[in-house]
A = this chain, B = another copy of it.
Amino acid sequence: PKNKQWRKCLSTVWGMKFTQDTKKVIHSFKVGIALVLVSLLYLLDPLFKEVGENAMWAIMTVVVVFEFYAGATLSKGINRGIGTIVGGTLGCLAALLADDAGKIGNAIIVAVSVFSFGAIATYMRMVPRIKKRYDYGVMIFILTFNLVAVSGLRADTVLKLAGQRLSTIGMGFAVCIFISLLVFPMWASDELHNNTSSKFDKLACSIEGCVDEYFGTIEMDKENQPKMKLSGCKSVLHSKSTDESLANFAKWEPWHGKFGIMYPWGKYLEIGEILRELASVLLSLKGCINSSRQPSQLSRQTIREPCEIIGLSLAWMLRELGESILKMRKSRAKVLIYPKLQSLKQDLSLPQNIKFQENEENVA
């Protein structure tokens, strides 16, 4: 059964890698198709007559806005749209204000407004909360404000130009949204959901690995296996930034599949935080069992059975929790896990070894 377990752990990792690669290829194709679609604005004469050189903005929008996850595309597109509108309006006002002053006064007013809006908006970009969700929008705001304020065109020309540009940006955005959301959509929400559940599995594999390593049950390629286990543990430990950006994108994604409106994405971050703590405990446990101060292989065998029971139960519980998250069914915690934890706790109450205690506490 040991070998089987290992193969299972390995195949999960490989399977994930495979689908990840396929997804990347699909995404590349999608971007290619979106680029061709938006290039039709140039290539088809009747369309080109309509939009003219402004078609450039549609291409630019597709290249810049089309991201891997649907939520990221939506967030960037909406940010770009709002940034353009707000920046254009304020820029127009600044240009109007500057228009009344003389030639030099005009230049001074424009320069001052460019400086102050640019500096304030740049500072805002560095405020963590704004940076997280609206960074791109604020950047586009600065760009549009600057271009409009500086171009010194009359209000009516600006409005016409702005209208044309906005409509082509809208076309580019529409192409992005259409392809990103309707053709093999990559949902950040799915990714976060599956990631969170697979973290449980990785930690379960790690625990099993610890037990096997300590009692020397795995003899074959010793070099290779422990590293694999450690990498699973470490990938959980360093998942914070990925999780946060996925949760951020997931919030932008519309209702789909099993995720309703107001789905509690914050909970995933909380679970991730707890699992990271468990991962850090496992990592230090690993450091501990590799210590030269551990008893010899022979004397380890005396505590082998209870340790294996505890390790396998913990791994089983983690898998059970992960699966219940994955399948979105109520965890059978009350029926299955809670009594098991109770009995484990009782077993551990005999003062044995501080090591096991750590594990148990963190799961409980």
Q: How far is the CA of A240 from the CA of B236 in the complex (A)?
A: 13
A51 interfacial by beta-carbon distance below 8 Å: no
**Min CB distance, A27 to chain B, in Å?**
7
Q: A120-B28, A122-B28, A126-B27 are in contact. Are A35 and B142 (CB under 8 A)?
A: yes
Q: Which residues of A contact B (CB under 8 A)?
A: 24-25, 27-29, 31-33, 35-36, 39, 42-44, 56, 59-60, 63-64, 68, 107, 110-111, 114-116, 118-120, 122-123, 126, 139, 142-143, 146-147, 150-152, 237-238, 240-241, 276-277, 279-281, 283-285, 287-288, 291, 293, 353-355, 357-358, 361-362
Interface hub of A29, A39, A147 (most chain B Cβ within 10 A): A39
Among B25, B39, B291, the residue within 8 A (CB) of A123 is: B25
**Looking across the interface, which residue of chain B has its beta carbon closest to that of A120?**
B28
Quickly give the copy total for this chain: 2
10 residue pairs from A and B, CB less than 8 Å apart: A28-B119, A28-B122, A35-B142, A39-B110, A238-B238, A240-B241, A277-B283, A277-B284, A287-B358, A291-B357
Q: Enumerate chain B residues within 8 angstroms of A115, measured Cβ to Cβ.
A: 32-33, 35-36
Task: Name the one of B31, B111, B279, B361 contacting A43, with C-beta atoms under 8 angstroms.
Answer: B111
Q: From DSSP, what is the main secondary structure of chain A's interface residues?
A: helix
Q: Establish whether residues B280 and A237, one from each chain, have CB atoms under 8 Å apart when the complex forms.
A: yes
Residue of A28, A122, A139, A151 with highest tally of chain B CB at under 10 A:
A122
